[in-house]
Amino acid sequence: MFKFRLKKSHGAAGPRLGEMRTARGVVQTPVFMPVGTYGTVKTLTPEELQALGAGIILANVYHLYLRPGVEVIAGLGGLHRFMNWDRPILTDSGGYQIFSLAPFRTITEEGVTFRSHLDGSTHFLDPETVVALQEALGVDILICLDECPGFPAPEDEVRRAADMTLKWAKRSLAARTRPDAALFAVVQGGMSPAWRREQAQALRELNFDGYALGGMSVGEDKETTWAMVEVTTPELPVDKPRYLMGLGTPEDLVEGVARGVDMFDCVLPTRNARNGMAFTTKGRVVIKNAAFARDPGPLDEACGCYTCRHYSRAYLRHLYVSREILAYRLLTLHNLYYYLELMAGMRHALAQDQFPAFRQKFYQNRLEGGKARG
């Protein structure tokens, strides 16, 4: 059975320390979830993820529904067995992916009709089906189907999407059959503080297991993003986890935690690794740059990951410009280690009531790194 326990809190919209109990283990929060969209975190094995300290990962029901098919995975024992991962899994409902297919989908109150990005075939998903698919996968945390408006968007479109998301949340709750798995609602409302508050309050009354903040990072500036987070989190239950969907620069994680967010996911640490960018305590390192061709140092002097303990920037640059697969693996190992250690550092600071000092040091390190790079 899913349970969330708040261990420390600093106000309705301040940083929080907690833990989520699932059938497959306890997850300490705040937490970053590596993204395994297709049932794999790109370039890494599940054993490597566990060694890095990942306590929970994210997969995407939209993509798994299209390939290889949920019935295939269910027939092989569920997603955990299919991908050899015995820790908790959260599945995104696919609302954002459907949003990104705007020219190829039609939304009605019944659900969404869309064309597959793989082969153009037509599919229909409704809130009940999305819950059933996630339950069939056997995952630990399910997300309700939602409608994500773009930015900017006409007021009537944002209002309609918020109303639709609320109606679908009610239907999702009614369709649920697995009490052992958690069901999270998604708060929409565009960039309107009033609508964000209104929908958060309405969803709170339905008593979901957790609440996701959706519709962020769709074109708005960061100041607007954080303003929406700040007006939403105080309206959500104090004793339920809060999940900020899709935002995930290191700065986003620190600022999200500062505003009372418990859960994060993002493709940046893995995607940027494949594009030759490493995240470090001093800021970002673009390894393909010629300045690193003879650099004997590690990516990050302060990092204890396998990559930094064994390989130089010069070697990593050589691998990357040579398009060797090992470059993507080593950079991914480093980036995820950095992200997971960043979250562990914030949890430790929260336990010691030292989060403001941690936040200040985080930015000080980046400032010093920027000065060092000139």
Q: Which of 146, 252, 265, 300 is catalytic?
A: 265
Residue with tokens 């949920």: 70
How far is CA 286 from each of CA 316, 336, 365, rounded to the nearest angstrom?
11, 16, 18
| Residues 6 or more apart whose Cβ sits within 8 Å of residue 336 | 34, 41, 44, 49, 52, 54, 269, 270
DSSP letters, 38-90, are: TSS-TT--HHHHHHHT---EEEEHHHHHHTT-HHHHHHTT-HHHHHT--S-EE
CB burial string 251-263: b at 16+ within 10 A, e below: ebbbbbbbbbbbb
Which of 29, 26, 23 shows the shortest CA–CA distance to 6?
Answer: 29
Catalytic residue list contains 146: no
Tokens of 185: 């609602």
Catalytic residue list contains 126: no
Q: Which of 86, 92, 295, 353 is catalytic?
A: 92
- Where in the sequence numbering do the catalytic residues fall? 92, 265
